[in-house]
Structure 1
């Protein structure tokens, strides 16, 4: 009986040591590759107004009036019914008004593969968020002087590259 108890104790100690060593190794590797948590982007007044819910019809009132035609100054939005641009055309639509922050300006780049948001400072940039579209996958590479986000879906490939090695950050979008 004493011999069996020694074997169980030795097995328990070895298993605990192996699990601790494995956790420490995985934690060390993941700590070096994890990204900063995404920051919330401020919503402009125009975006907030566009997102307000429309009044709904109630049982005691008649149906709500149909929405008025959009103003000429409204920015057209991209829908799924919009045809894809030809393969030779760039696949990006840049949000027209960047948002200023203490570190720089936040700019969003919408592509067929997804959306990428950068915080562009005077001498460097940081990736705020990257979200692949439905049916697309994403991969991110970072160095000290550039960030590349690549969206892939089958043979389709769209890259968003931000570089700042020889001046202020600049962003290029295309099928590379």
Structure 2
């Protein structure tokens, strides 16, 4: 009996020491971690429709003028050379086209609208534009499987579980996108 109590005591001490050591290791890693609530990030298509519509022509002019000062902080030597001399406009041109191409994309892309479709078995988010639709996300619920098919002028998302299939179909063959949802099965 005494031998069993000694073994139990040794096991308890070893287990307690292992738990304490593990906790100290985890605590040392997590002590500097800050946990924040998730923040919804604005999608580029939504931002482009807000910025590109009313202020599309005006913002492209200010960002290039404000871009060299912001670029001057990270790399002071390349920035003073482009304004001072004409020998390095290629360097300035390489940084400048990045911003105009982004602004050109914003101003040239038609406004888009994001639509979320809650369905039996999951949720589908689409970026529906005047002449096309794009899949943003499709998330199945627990226990459901998902399949996605797409072509040049159509898109289909299926959520299936057992004998039930929930389908979202979008077609835009030269017309505005047409979204249809239906359920097959019990």
Q: Same fold (TM over 0.5)?
A: no
Larger Rg: 2
More helix as a share of residues: 2
When normalised by structure 1's length, the TM-score is 0.42
